[in-house]
Amino acid sequence: MTQSENTASVLIVDDSEAIRKQIKKTLLSQEGLFGTVYEAEDGIKGFKQLLDHKIDIILCDVVMPQIDGFKLLSMVKNHPELKDIPIIMLTAEGNQDKKNLGLNKGASDYLTKPFDDAELLARVRVHLQLKLLQDKLRATNRELTKLSNTDALTQVFNRRYLMQVMTKEVLRAQRYGTALSLLLIDIDNFKGLNDTYGHQAGDQVLIDLCQRMKAKLRFTDILARYGGEEFAVLLTQIPLINAEKAGEHVRNRIARTPFLIDNQELAVTVSCGVSSFVSGSCDSVDSLIMEADKALYEAKKQGKNRVVTSQACLACATDSEDETQS
Helix ranges (H only) for 29-116 are: 43-52, 69-77, 96-104
Q: Where are the domains of the chain?
A: 3-148, 157-325
Q: Which 3 state secondary structure label does DSSP give 95?
A: coil
pTM score, whole prediction: 0.71
Backbone torsion region of residue 66, taken as left when φ is above 0, otherwise alpha when ψ lies between -120 and 50, otherwise beta? left
User: Which CATH architecture group holds 3-148?
Assistant: 3-Layer(aba) Sandwich (3.40)
**Looking at residue 95, what is its pLDDT?**
64
**Tens digits of per-residue pLDDT, 202-242?**
999 999 999 999 998 999 999 999 999 999 999 999 999 99
pLDDT at residue 94 tops 80? no
Average pLDDT, the chain: 90
pLDDT at 96 over 90: no
307, pLDDT greater than 60:
yes
- Tell me what the mean pLDDT of segment 130-157 comes to: 92
* Mean pLDDT, range 165-188, rounded to an integer: 96
Catalytic center residues: 229
Residue 74 clears pLDDT 50, i.e. is over it: yes
Residue 103 has pLDDT above 90, yes or no: no
pLDDT at residue 28, rounded to an integer: 83
Contacts for 219 with CB less than 8 Å, ≥ 6 apart: none
Task: State in words which class domain 157-325 has.
Answer: alpha beta
pLDDT at 101: 75
